[in-house]
Amino acid sequence: MLGRIYWTNIGRVVYALSEHTLLGLTGDHPENPTFSLPCREVFVRGQHKVEVVGPLLEDEAAAPHRGFWNAGH
């Protein structure tokens, strides 16, 4: 996804839920592997700027995940 964002010259990414918080909600569930490399670190190495804004509304974004990953999904 980051490659597509970068190569299509999208200039800003806004997201709600941090990978760290998502990992805390999903644990090691095989259907939702997490990636411990913030997108900011990837984009800063590119030749054009991609602004990253977030996490925003993290509590609201986490709500659908609470209990879901422990319920056999």
* Domain carrying residue 30: 2-65
Residue 72 within a domain: no
Residue 33 within a domain: yes
Residue 71 within a domain: no
Does 62 or 24 have the greater pLDDT score?
A: 62
pTM: 0.75
Torsion of CA 31, 36, 41, 43, to 10 degrees: -10
Residue 18 within a domain: yes
Residue 12 within a domain: yes
Task: Determine contact, residues 21/13, Cβ cutoff 8 Å.
Answer: no
Query: Tens of pLDDT along 28-63?
Result: 878 877 777 889 999 999 999 999 999 999 999 999
Does 44 or 19 have the greater pLDDT score?
A: 44
pLDDT of residue 1: 85
Tell me how many domains the chain contains: 1
Check whether 73 has a pLDDT greater than 60: no
Check whether 24 has a pLDDT greater than 90: no
